Amino acid sequence: MPNSTLLLAQKLIARPSPTPDDNGCQEILSHHLGKLGFKIENMPFGEVDNLWARRGTTGPILCFAGHTDVVPTGPVENWDSDPFIPTIRDDRLYGRGAADMKTSLAAFITAIEAFVAEHGDHNGSIALLITSDEEGPAIDGTVKVVETLKARGELLDYCIVGEPTCTDKLGDTIKNGRRGSLSGNLTIKGIQGHIAYPHLAKNPIHLAAPAIAELAQTEWDQGNEYFPPTTWHISNINGGTGATNVIPGTVNMLFNFRFSTASTVETLQERAHEILDSHQLDYDLKWELSGKPFLTPKAELANAMSSAIKSVTAIEPELSTSGGTSDGRFIADICKQVVEFGPCNATIHKLNENVGVEEIEPLSKIYQLTLENLLTK
Protein backbone atom coordinates (compact mmCIF):
# COMPACT_ATOMS: atom_id res chain seq x y z
CA MET A 1 0.00 0.00 0.00
CA PRO A 2 1.30 3.52 -0.77
CA ASN A 3 2.66 5.28 2.29
CA SER A 4 1.34 8.64 3.46
CA THR A 5 4.46 10.53 2.37
CA LEU A 6 4.22 9.17 -1.16
CA LEU A 7 0.52 10.04 -1.38
CA LEU A 8 1.15 13.60 -0.21
CA ALA A 9 4.09 14.01 -2.60
CA GLN A 10 1.87 12.90 -5.47
CA LYS A 11 -0.81 15.37 -4.41
CA LEU A 12 1.70 18.22 -4.45
CA ILE A 13 3.26 17.22 -7.78
CA ALA A 14 -0.21 17.20 -9.34
CA ARG A 15 -0.44 20.95 -8.65
CA PRO A 16 1.46 22.62 -11.52
CA SER A 17 3.48 25.34 -9.79
CA PRO A 18 6.09 26.85 -12.12
CA THR A 19 7.77 29.71 -10.27
CA PRO A 20 6.34 31.87 -8.74
CA ASP A 21 2.96 30.09 -8.81
CA ASP A 22 2.16 28.12 -5.66
CA ASN A 23 -1.15 26.85 -7.08
CA GLY A 24 -2.57 25.82 -3.73
CA CYS A 25 0.36 23.73 -2.51
CA GLN A 26 0.80 25.80 0.64
CA GLU A 27 -2.92 25.46 1.35
CA ILE A 28 -2.48 21.68 1.33
CA LEU A 29 0.43 21.95 3.76
CA SER A 30 -1.49 24.37 5.99
CA HIS A 31 -4.42 21.95 6.16
CA HIS A 32 -2.18 19.27 7.65
CA LEU A 33 -0.39 21.67 9.98
CA GLY A 34 -3.57 23.25 11.29
CA LYS A 35 -4.68 19.87 12.60
CA LEU A 36 -1.45 19.67 14.60
CA GLY A 37 -1.94 22.97 16.37
CA PHE A 38 0.35 25.12 14.23
CA LYS A 39 -0.26 28.85 14.06
CA ILE A 40 -0.48 29.60 10.34
CA GLU A 41 0.66 32.90 8.84
CA ASN A 42 0.39 33.59 5.13
CA MET A 43 2.96 36.18 4.07
CA PRO A 44 2.38 37.18 0.43
CA PHE A 45 4.83 39.61 -1.14
CA GLY A 46 4.24 40.70 -4.72
CA GLU A 47 3.24 37.64 -6.76
CA VAL A 48 4.84 35.27 -4.27
CA ASP A 49 3.04 33.14 -1.69
CA ASN A 50 4.95 32.47 1.53
CA LEU A 51 3.96 30.39 4.53
CA TRP A 52 5.23 30.71 8.10
CA ALA A 53 3.84 28.15 10.52
CA ARG A 54 4.87 27.50 14.09
CA ARG A 55 3.90 25.05 16.83
CA GLY A 56 5.06 26.12 20.28
CA THR A 57 6.16 29.37 21.85
CA THR A 58 9.49 28.50 23.45
CA GLY A 59 12.96 27.63 22.25
CA PRO A 60 14.77 25.96 20.74
CA ILE A 61 13.05 26.51 17.38
CA LEU A 62 13.65 23.87 14.71
CA CYS A 63 12.49 25.11 11.31
CA PHE A 64 11.90 23.12 8.13
CA ALA A 65 12.35 25.30 5.05
CA GLY A 66 11.52 24.70 1.41
CA HIS A 67 9.74 25.82 -1.72
CA THR A 68 6.62 24.83 -3.60
CA ASP A 69 7.62 26.40 -6.92
CA VAL A 70 9.30 24.34 -9.62
CA VAL A 71 11.32 25.14 -12.73
CA PRO A 72 9.58 25.07 -16.13
CA THR A 73 9.09 21.64 -17.66
CA GLY A 74 10.42 22.41 -21.11
CA PRO A 75 8.61 20.70 -24.01
CA VAL A 76 6.03 18.43 -22.37
CA GLU A 77 6.11 16.11 -25.37
CA ASN A 78 9.72 15.24 -24.53
CA TRP A 79 8.71 13.75 -21.17
CA ASP A 80 7.86 10.06 -20.98
CA SER A 81 4.76 10.99 -18.96
CA ASP A 82 2.96 14.23 -18.16
CA PRO A 83 5.23 16.15 -15.73
CA PHE A 84 2.24 17.14 -13.59
CA ILE A 85 0.62 13.72 -13.46
CA PRO A 86 2.69 11.89 -10.82
CA THR A 87 3.58 8.53 -12.28
CA ILE A 88 5.32 5.51 -10.79
CA ARG A 89 7.45 3.43 -13.16
CA ASP A 90 10.07 0.89 -12.18
CA ASP A 91 9.78 1.90 -8.50
CA ARG A 92 10.45 5.57 -9.22
CA LEU A 93 8.10 8.53 -8.83
CA TYR A 94 8.16 10.79 -11.89
CA GLY A 95 6.98 14.39 -12.12
CA ARG A 96 8.26 17.95 -12.02
CA GLY A 97 9.20 18.64 -8.42
CA ALA A 98 9.53 14.98 -7.46
CA ALA A 99 13.13 15.55 -6.33
CA ASP A 100 13.19 19.34 -6.12
CA MET A 101 11.45 19.50 -3.75
CA LYS A 102 7.87 18.36 -3.24
CA THR A 103 8.87 14.97 -1.85
CA SER A 104 10.84 16.76 0.86
CA LEU A 105 7.82 18.94 1.64
CA ALA A 106 5.64 15.85 2.00
CA ALA A 107 8.28 14.23 4.22
CA PHE A 108 8.38 17.35 6.42
CA ILE A 109 4.65 17.01 7.07
CA THR A 110 4.52 13.28 7.73
CA ALA A 111 7.61 13.44 9.93
CA ILE A 112 6.04 16.17 12.04
CA GLU A 113 2.75 14.26 12.22
CA ALA A 114 4.52 11.13 13.47
CA PHE A 115 6.67 13.10 15.90
CA VAL A 116 3.77 15.05 17.42
CA ALA A 117 1.73 11.86 17.76
CA GLU A 118 4.48 10.45 19.99
CA HIS A 119 5.69 13.68 21.62
CA GLY A 120 2.76 16.05 21.92
CA ASP A 121 4.51 17.93 24.73
CA HIS A 122 7.90 18.16 23.03
CA ASN A 123 10.48 20.75 23.98
CA GLY A 124 10.76 24.02 22.09
CA SER A 125 8.97 24.80 18.84
CA ILE A 126 8.61 23.37 15.34
CA ALA A 127 8.30 25.78 12.41
CA LEU A 128 7.98 25.74 8.64
CA LEU A 129 9.10 28.45 6.22
CA ILE A 130 7.79 27.73 2.73
CA THR A 131 8.01 29.97 -0.34
CA SER A 132 7.03 29.90 -4.02
CA ASP A 133 10.01 32.05 -5.07
CA GLU A 134 13.11 29.86 -4.73
CA GLU A 135 13.47 28.86 -8.37
CA GLY A 136 12.85 32.43 -9.56
CA PRO A 137 14.49 35.75 -8.70
CA ALA A 138 14.20 35.01 -4.95
CA ILE A 139 13.26 38.60 -4.18
CA ASP A 140 9.82 38.24 -2.58
CA GLY A 141 10.25 34.82 -0.99
CA THR A 142 12.34 33.51 1.87
CA VAL A 143 14.39 36.70 2.12
CA LYS A 144 11.23 38.74 2.85
CA VAL A 145 9.97 36.26 5.44
CA VAL A 146 13.39 36.31 7.13
CA GLU A 147 13.31 40.11 7.22
CA THR A 148 9.85 39.99 8.81
CA LEU A 149 10.90 37.45 11.44
CA LYS A 150 14.09 39.36 12.20
CA ALA A 151 12.17 42.62 12.66
CA ARG A 152 10.01 41.04 15.34
CA GLY A 153 12.90 39.26 17.04
CA GLU A 154 11.85 35.77 16.03
CA LEU A 155 15.19 34.03 15.54
CA LEU A 156 15.75 30.34 14.80
CA ASP A 157 18.04 27.84 16.49
CA TYR A 158 18.09 25.13 13.83
CA CYS A 159 16.94 24.99 10.21
CA ILE A 160 16.69 22.05 7.81
CA VAL A 161 16.28 23.02 4.14
CA GLY A 162 14.81 20.17 2.11
CA GLU A 163 16.97 20.63 -0.98
CA PRO A 164 17.96 17.41 -2.79
CA THR A 165 21.50 16.85 -1.52
CA CYS A 166 22.32 13.19 -2.00
CA THR A 167 24.45 11.98 -4.90
CA ASP A 168 24.23 8.19 -5.10
CA LYS A 169 22.11 7.00 -2.17
CA LEU A 170 19.72 8.63 0.27
CA GLY A 171 21.80 9.66 3.26
CA ASP A 172 25.20 10.08 1.65
CA THR A 173 25.38 13.90 1.77
CA ILE A 174 24.35 16.74 4.07
CA LYS A 175 25.04 20.28 2.90
CA ASN A 176 26.33 22.29 5.84
CA GLY A 177 27.06 25.43 3.86
CA ARG A 178 27.07 27.02 0.44
CA ARG A 179 29.42 29.28 -1.44
CA GLY A 180 28.51 32.89 -2.04
CA SER A 181 27.77 34.26 -5.51
CA LEU A 182 29.06 37.69 -6.59
CA SER A 183 28.56 38.81 -10.19
CA GLY A 184 30.10 41.66 -12.15
CA ASN A 185 28.94 43.48 -15.27
CA LEU A 186 32.09 44.96 -16.76
CA THR A 187 32.26 47.34 -19.71
CA ILE A 188 35.71 48.27 -21.02
CA LYS A 189 35.82 51.36 -23.20
CA GLY A 190 37.91 51.95 -26.29
CA ILE A 191 37.51 54.06 -29.43
CA GLN A 192 35.54 52.75 -32.40
CA GLY A 193 37.11 53.07 -35.80
CA HIS A 194 37.85 51.60 -39.22
CA ILE A 195 39.91 48.44 -38.91
CA ALA A 196 42.17 49.65 -41.73
CA TYR A 197 43.11 52.72 -39.64
CA PRO A 198 43.91 51.21 -36.23
CA HIS A 199 46.00 54.27 -35.23
CA LEU A 200 42.76 56.26 -35.14
CA ALA A 201 40.99 53.75 -32.88
CA LYS A 202 41.55 51.91 -29.61
CA ASN A 203 40.50 48.26 -29.50
CA PRO A 204 38.94 47.48 -26.08
CA ILE A 205 39.14 43.73 -26.66
CA HIS A 206 42.91 43.93 -27.07
CA LEU A 207 43.12 46.19 -24.02
CA ALA A 208 41.03 43.80 -21.95
CA ALA A 209 42.92 40.62 -22.83
CA PRO A 210 45.85 40.99 -20.39
CA ALA A 211 43.50 41.94 -17.56
CA ILE A 212 41.27 38.95 -18.30
CA ALA A 213 44.30 36.67 -18.22
CA GLU A 214 45.37 38.04 -14.85
CA LEU A 215 41.87 37.79 -13.37
CA ALA A 216 41.61 34.18 -14.57
CA GLN A 217 44.99 33.23 -13.11
CA THR A 218 44.61 34.96 -9.75
CA GLU A 219 44.41 32.85 -6.61
CA TRP A 220 41.71 34.62 -4.63
CA ASP A 221 42.05 32.40 -1.58
CA GLN A 222 42.95 28.83 -0.69
CA GLY A 223 39.55 27.84 0.68
CA ASN A 224 39.36 26.16 4.05
CA GLU A 225 38.36 22.93 5.74
CA TYR A 226 34.84 23.03 4.30
CA PHE A 227 35.18 25.10 1.10
CA PRO A 228 37.27 24.82 -2.07
CA PRO A 229 39.17 27.92 -3.22
CA THR A 230 37.17 30.82 -4.63
CA THR A 231 36.72 30.72 -8.40
CA TRP A 232 36.31 33.52 -10.99
CA HIS A 233 34.78 32.81 -14.40
CA ILE A 234 33.47 34.78 -17.37
CA SER A 235 29.95 33.71 -18.34
CA ASN A 236 29.36 36.09 -21.28
CA ILE A 237 31.49 38.40 -23.42
CA ASN A 238 30.38 40.62 -26.26
CA GLY A 239 31.96 43.29 -28.41
CA GLY A 240 31.74 44.58 -31.94
CA THR A 241 29.10 45.61 -34.45
CA GLY A 242 28.95 42.35 -36.34
CA ALA A 243 31.02 43.78 -39.18
CA THR A 244 34.54 42.58 -39.99
CA ASN A 245 35.90 46.05 -40.72
CA VAL A 246 34.97 47.93 -37.53
CA ILE A 247 37.05 48.11 -34.37
CA PRO A 248 34.51 48.08 -31.53
CA GLY A 249 34.13 50.97 -29.12
CA THR A 250 33.36 48.79 -26.09
CA VAL A 251 33.52 45.21 -24.89
CA ASN A 252 31.13 43.91 -22.25
CA MET A 253 31.77 41.02 -19.91
CA LEU A 254 29.65 39.23 -17.33
CA PHE A 255 31.63 37.33 -14.73
CA ASN A 256 30.96 35.55 -11.45
CA PHE A 257 32.79 34.71 -8.25
CA ARG A 258 31.77 31.60 -6.34
CA PHE A 259 33.44 32.34 -3.04
CA SER A 260 33.99 30.74 0.31
CA THR A 261 34.08 32.09 3.84
CA ALA A 262 37.82 32.54 3.27
CA SER A 263 37.03 35.73 1.33
CA THR A 264 34.62 38.62 1.74
CA VAL A 265 32.62 40.57 -0.81
CA GLU A 266 34.74 43.62 -0.10
CA THR A 267 38.12 41.90 -0.56
CA LEU A 268 37.08 40.34 -3.85
CA GLN A 269 35.79 43.64 -5.20
CA GLU A 270 38.91 45.50 -4.10
CA ARG A 271 41.28 43.01 -5.72
CA ALA A 272 39.30 42.96 -8.98
CA HIS A 273 39.43 46.76 -9.18
CA GLU A 274 43.16 46.73 -8.39
CA ILE A 275 43.82 44.38 -11.31
CA LEU A 276 41.69 46.38 -13.73
CA ASP A 277 43.27 49.65 -12.59
CA SER A 278 46.80 48.22 -12.92
CA HIS A 279 46.12 47.76 -16.64
CA GLN A 280 45.03 51.39 -16.94
CA LEU A 281 41.64 50.51 -18.37
CA ASP A 282 38.76 52.90 -18.85
CA TYR A 283 35.87 50.85 -17.52
CA ASP A 284 32.53 50.69 -15.76
CA LEU A 285 31.86 47.85 -13.34
CA LYS A 286 28.52 47.11 -11.68
CA TRP A 287 28.30 44.49 -8.94
CA GLU A 288 25.44 42.20 -7.91
CA LEU A 289 25.57 40.04 -4.80
CA SER A 290 23.23 37.03 -5.05
CA GLY A 291 24.18 35.60 -1.68
CA LYS A 292 26.94 35.48 0.90
CA PRO A 293 28.50 32.15 1.84
CA PHE A 294 27.29 30.44 4.97
CA LEU A 295 28.73 27.62 7.01
CA THR A 296 27.36 25.50 9.82
CA PRO A 297 30.15 23.81 11.79
CA LYS A 298 29.62 20.27 12.94
CA ALA A 299 27.50 20.92 16.03
CA GLU A 300 24.08 19.96 17.44
CA LEU A 301 22.08 20.08 14.18
CA ALA A 302 24.59 18.33 11.93
CA ASN A 303 25.20 15.72 14.62
CA ALA A 304 21.48 15.13 15.18
CA MET A 305 20.82 14.70 11.48
CA SER A 306 23.87 12.51 10.94
CA SER A 307 22.72 10.24 13.77
CA ALA A 308 19.21 10.04 12.29
CA ILE A 309 20.56 9.22 8.83
CA LYS A 310 22.81 6.48 10.18
CA SER A 311 19.92 4.98 12.17
CA VAL A 312 17.70 4.80 9.08
CA THR A 313 20.15 4.06 6.27
CA ALA A 314 23.29 2.75 8.03
CA ILE A 315 25.21 5.39 6.04
CA GLU A 316 27.66 7.86 7.59
CA PRO A 317 26.82 11.07 5.67
CA GLU A 318 29.45 13.40 4.27
CA LEU A 319 29.26 17.11 5.08
CA SER A 320 29.56 19.13 1.86
CA THR A 321 29.36 22.74 0.68
CA SER A 322 29.31 21.97 -3.05
CA GLY A 323 26.66 23.12 -5.50
CA GLY A 324 24.91 26.40 -6.19
CA THR A 325 23.10 28.80 -3.92
CA SER A 326 19.96 28.00 -1.93
CA ASP A 327 17.58 29.84 0.37
CA GLY A 328 19.82 28.73 3.21
CA ARG A 329 21.86 31.87 2.46
CA PHE A 330 18.96 34.02 3.64
CA ILE A 331 17.97 31.89 6.62
CA ALA A 332 21.55 31.94 7.94
CA ASP A 333 20.94 35.59 8.77
CA ILE A 334 18.61 34.57 11.63
CA CYS A 335 19.84 31.04 12.32
CA LYS A 336 23.33 29.93 13.34
CA GLN A 337 22.85 26.29 12.35
CA VAL A 338 21.47 25.64 8.85
CA VAL A 339 21.82 22.37 6.96
CA GLU A 340 20.26 21.01 3.81
CA PHE A 341 19.14 17.45 3.36
CA GLY A 342 16.85 15.76 0.87
CA PRO A 343 16.66 13.02 -1.78
CA CYS A 344 19.09 12.28 -4.61
CA ASN A 345 19.68 15.15 -7.01
CA ALA A 346 20.64 13.36 -10.23
CA THR A 347 17.48 14.38 -12.13
CA ILE A 348 16.67 17.82 -10.72
CA HIS A 349 15.72 20.42 -13.38
CA LYS A 350 15.85 17.67 -16.03
CA LEU A 351 13.30 15.97 -18.24
CA ASN A 352 11.69 13.01 -16.46
CA GLU A 353 12.65 14.28 -12.99
CA ASN A 354 12.17 11.47 -10.51
CA VAL A 355 12.90 10.08 -7.07
CA GLY A 356 13.15 6.49 -5.90
CA VAL A 357 9.99 5.34 -4.15
CA GLU A 358 12.13 3.43 -1.67
CA GLU A 359 13.72 6.74 -0.56
CA ILE A 360 10.48 8.50 0.32
CA GLU A 361 9.45 6.96 3.62
CA PRO A 362 13.04 6.76 4.94
CA LEU A 363 13.39 10.49 4.21
CA SER A 364 10.39 11.20 6.42
CA LYS A 365 11.81 8.93 9.12
CA ILE A 366 15.14 10.79 9.06
CA TYR A 367 13.37 14.11 9.59
CA GLN A 368 11.32 12.56 12.41
CA LEU A 369 14.38 11.19 14.21
CA THR A 370 16.15 14.53 13.85
CA LEU A 371 13.20 16.16 15.60
CA GLU A 372 13.45 13.57 18.36
CA ASN A 373 17.19 14.09 18.72
CA LEU A 374 16.78 17.86 19.15
CA LEU A 375 13.42 18.40 20.84
CA THR A 376 13.03 15.53 23.28
CA LYS A 377 16.28 15.61 25.23
pLDDT of residue 2: 54
> For residues 275 and 267, what is the distance between their CA atoms, to the nearest angstrom?
12
pLDDT of residue 1: 42
Phi, psi of 172 (to 5 degrees): -80, -15
pLDDT at 291 over 80: yes
> Percentage of the chain surpassing pLDDT 70?
99
Give DSSP secondary structure letters for 35-57.
HTTPEEEE--BTTB-EEEEEE-S
Catalytic residue among 22, 134, 353, 372: 134
> For residues 328 and 338, what is the distance between their CA atoms, to the nearest angstrom?
7
Mean pLDDT across 16-26? 98
**pLDDT band for position 324 (50/70/90)?**
confident
Decide if 172 is catalytic: no
pLDDT of residue 36: 97
pLDDT of residue 177: 93
Catalytic residue among 22, 69, 135, 340: 69
pLDDT at 323 over 90: no
pLDDT at 133 over 50: yes
* Contact criterion met (CB below 8 Å) for 145 and 47: no
pLDDT at 297 over 90: no
> For residues 258 and 182, what is the distance between their CA atoms, to the nearest angstrom?
7
> For residues 177 and 295, what is the distance between their CA atoms, to the nearest angstrom?
4
Cis peptide before 343 (omega within 30 of 0): no
**pLDDT band for position 230 (50/70/90)?**
very high
Q: Report the chain's mean pLDDT, rounded to a whole number.
A: 96
Decide if 21 is catalytic: no
| Amino acid (1-letter code) at residue 374 | L
Phi, psi of 75 (to 5 degrees): -60, 115
Please report, in angstroms and rounded to a whole number, the separation of the first and last CA atoms in the chain.
34
Q: For the purposes of burial, counting CB atoms within 10 Å of the CB of 96, is it exposed (0-12), middle (13-18) or buried (19 or more)?
A: buried
Question: How large is the angle between the packed helices 25-35 and 4-13, nearest 10 degrees?
Answer: 150
Mean pLDDT across 233-257? 97
Closest CA to 283 of 358, 350, 185: 185
pLDDT tens digit sequence for 54-107:
999 999 999 999 999 999 999 999 999 999 999 999 999 999 999 999 999 999
pLDDT of residue 190: 97
pTM for this model (two decimals): 0.89
pLDDT at 322 over 90: no
Closest CA to 157 of 376, 377, 374, 326: 374
Q: What does the DSSP 8-state code read for residue 70?
A: B
**pLDDT band for position 226 (50/70/90)?**
confident
Tell me which long-range contacts 308-314 makes (C-beta under 8 A, separation of at least 24): 308/365, 308/366, 308/367, 308/368, 308/369, 308/370, 308/372, 308/373, 309/171, 309/174, 309/341, 309/366, 310/171, 311/369, 312/171, 312/362, 312/365, 312/366, 312/369, 313/169, 313/170, 313/171, 313/362, 313/366
